[in-house]
Structure 1
């Protein structure tokens, strides 16, 4: 009776908190560049930097994302989602400690690289964890907490940078990650992964702990599918040699890439992730001061503007949590991207006319207003929706592999954006850069319009069946899984194939 207030919803909130705090490190890491670079450019800085070094401090995390992205699928599939989450947090902590102790540019870059690796891990891991922990009716809102956490991380570190030295700010960020580590250690493994490993009793126990007794149909279908898959693996005995494993993996990969439920979600997510990176979120996080200076000028209190923009992002993200529960994914994506394109082109036109003194009337409020409109589109749509969609469209059997391939493009775009922003701002100006960004976003949203299905309030199995065109029969499941079944001996447990 005393524990009746701990409802399944609150338990889902607890495990989501562990994931979201980890993902807030994305915002802390990206926003940290905006506070560390101005301080390092000061004459009395212990680590002096020029424009080239500064761009590497911002952009190296994009390159490191790729490394983390390649590491995490194997850990997710073989050792579990929880273990992968712990590994990413420890890596992030090591990165923050390097920053805290840095006395030269090399150690600073190592710290940024480690943090980028951790971000690469959580980029594909976070949506999978929340998607497997939460119920379909609440999944969209919980997945929105990813972008809310990132936004909170950005404004939090920007606020720290306005009052403290960058190493003190890094120490506070490391403490937050330690708190998150404790939460994750007390969170369970996901029921989906447990059932995939044949641990059905544990899977059912965790599922009912998280969901209660109201979603028996989803539990039944998940366990039945897992049993079929494991029976198929047990029927095929393959000699445990390197050449045999390679042949099995190649056969698996060859069969997998031909499946609609594999390549269609990847194709969609490549464009959705590209859209999210080129929509301007990272520019507003890492180059906030540069953008305000170029668009508005220096006659306003820049740090106050930075904090205000970050606060607005949190508020907009909070509103998005509610809206996403009510509005269809496709409708919200098209609406927010439309606002994003308007903001891009309006800021481009304003900055061009301002630079050429062609404005009939000018006031700093105009530029501030346009940047805030841009942030509204980012916070309510182009940042939260990609994470939500990523948590829903990938099929269970290929979630690690498909997520990894998709995040590879996220990482590449992330690096390109942050590395080229200073160069583009100096050569073609904000107006030229923003027109290029708008063109990329417009192309991606057209692809999403034609290929992205509606996923709101649908189970993960229903979404997978739509990509396939029909439910997968038991015979097809067996023939698919047998391609990669490797049995070392009769008593050893089988594990999911990892490429």
Structure 2
């Protein structure tokens, strides 16, 4: 007897549920649904952090010779296609579904890492970096949207917060591996994560919201009940979802894009997420060792400092998941912003002081920038980094969610590329102190913006957030 792919997948799901006679509770199913996209996010974190261990190793090798310009392109090549990947990712998740987009993205991501591992020249490295960066952009819109549309409000905060956690896991792993292993060996290990993500995604259903939007009501109900359980609360939410979708399908797409419930969250999330990027977090991610060498005068090994910062980022990402489950969005964003710009101002002032008084660069003066860097990573990771990506999957109406998440992700990754590409030039022209001052000023005005405009979405169903954005 020949089985179709669909029958095999169904059999795998059934086998997963009836194993040892235990049926998975809704929480475990929602974690399983989120696990595939989150494993892909580890690969994205590895992509972002890979240049920090690749560039120092290439400087000591003769197999692939690079100059300063080549190093800048290697670092920024992953960021270059991310913005355009977001637009393509938005189209794909609208046409084929949120889960299907995640599945497809793992294939070029795997190819990219294999290319890097087999590289014998600069074009191969750049091509591999381009592919893995493109996949990061493809994942941008769909990851938060897919998790938001499959998770209950009481678990959504934690699961969305896990996006930044798994990104931090990827950064820490690639830096840890690259500290002790050759960059090609590190790339081979990185290639396993898209494979794991692919097989996890095979086991779970498509987004119920996407199925309902495409008038597959029966499939939407099955997927919703599979994720949430067949409870009265689930039945009521499914009824609201299908009823609203039937009403909105009659509206022209352009009419929906000029409505307040779309434009208001688009402006808020775009400003928030661009501010996030220009606060400099990815400049530190891509040029960790270089920045450490410029900031720490002496007394502390830069690679050890890099791993300390990565570990702090990882621990704070875990804390962010916990905090987002208990603390409202607005106070968390404001506290995070204040801590971010304060630590950047201290870094700027310190590096300017050392520039004027180089004879004072003792070990104790090295502690000041190290503590400031740790504070910076801690504050930005606990709020400014996870919140805009988490809220992106919440604040847009269903019918325009793909457009809103694609545009805001595009703007985020465009700013991402600009920050990574301009960081070396900013260090040359403005100095370390001037660069940190610019990042700090952006974080300051971003904090003022979220204090005034950021909505509160914690614990609300997606249709309730939509009504809030529309002023209903």
Gapped regions of structure 2 (runs ≥ 5):
1-17
Which one of 434, 437, 455 corresponds to residue 436 of structure 2? 434
Deviation at 1:47, TM superposition (A): 1.1
List alignment gaps of at least 5 residues for structure 1: 234-250, 471-499
Pairwise mapping of residues 194-213 of structure 1 onto structure 2 (< 5 A)?
Answer: 194-212=211-229, 213=231
Alpha carbons of structure 1 residues 204 and 252: separation in structure 2 relative to 1, 3 Å: closer
Query: Following the alignment from structure 2 to structure 1, what is the Cα–Cα distance between the partners of residues 105 and 248?
Result: 29
Which runs of structure 2 are paired with 1:38-57 in the superposition (5 Å)? 38-42=56-60, 44-57=61-74
Instruction: Give the distance between the partners of 2:114 and 2:166, measured in 1 at CA.
Output: 21
Pick one of 374, 377, 383 that aligns with 1:375.
377
Give the C-alpha shift of residue 268 in structure 1: 0.6
Q: Is the 8 A contact 1:393 1:460 kept in 2?
A: yes
Aligned to 1:7: 25
Post-superposition CA distance 1:268-301 (Å, at most 9, x none): 1111111221223212211111111111135322
Deviations 1:311-355 (A, max 9, x none): 111111111111111111000000011000011000111111112
Alpha-carbon separation, structure 2, partners of 1:447 and 1:117: 30
Match of 1:415 in 2: 417
Q: Residue 19 in 1 paired to residue 37 in 2?
A: yes
Q: Is the 8 A contact 2:85 2:138 kept in 1?
A: yes
What is the aligned-residue RMSD (CA, Å)?
A: 1.7
**Alignment correspondent of 2:155:** 138
Gap change, CA 1:3 and 1:228, over 3 Å in 2: farther
- Report the secondary structure of 2:80's partner residue: helix
* Alignment partners' CA distance in 2, 1:415 and 1:31: 14
Using the alignment, how far apart are the partners of 1:227 and 1:260 within structure 2? Answer: 20
1:457 is paired with a residue whose SS is coil
- Give the aligned partner of residue 399 of structure 1: 401
Cα pair 1:280 1:378 within 8 Å, conserved? no
- Partner of 1:74, secondary structure, is helix
- Report the Cα distance in structure 1 between the residues aligned to 2:237 and 2:355, rounded to whole angstroms: 58
Secondary structure, counterpart of 1:393 in structure 2: coil
Find the aligned partners of 2:258 and 2:411 in 1 and give their Cα distance.
Answer: 20
Q: List per-residue Cα deviations over 1:101-150 (Å, max 9, x = no partner).
A: 21111111111111111111111111101101100111111000000000
Q: How far apart, in 2, do the equivalents of 1:336 and 1:115 lie?
A: 30
The offset of 1:456, in angstroms, is 0.4
Equivalences for 1:91-490 in 2 at 5 Å? 91-212=108-229, 213=231, 214-230=233-249, 232=250, 252-253=253-254, 255-357=255-357, 362-470=364-472
Q: State the alpha-carbon separation in 2 of the partners of residues 159 and 169 from structure 1.
A: 9
| Partner SS for 2:357 | coil
> Would you say the 8 A contact 1:266–1:406 is kept in 2?
yes
Q: Counterpart in 1 of 2:13?
A: none
- Alpha carbons 1:46, 1:103 under 8 Å: kept: yes
Q: Which residue of 2 aligns with 1:79?
A: 96
Distance 1:218 1:53 in 2: 53
1:178-224 Cα deviation digits (max 9, x unpaired): 11111112221011111112221221111111111243221110122
Q: Distance in 2 between matches of 1:3 and 1:176?
A: 30
Counterparts of 2:137 and 2:101, CA distance in 1 = 12
Contact preservation (8 Å) 2:213, 2:399:
no
Q: Deviations over 1:354-412 (max 9, x none)?
A: 12117597432222111101110122111111111112111100011111111121121
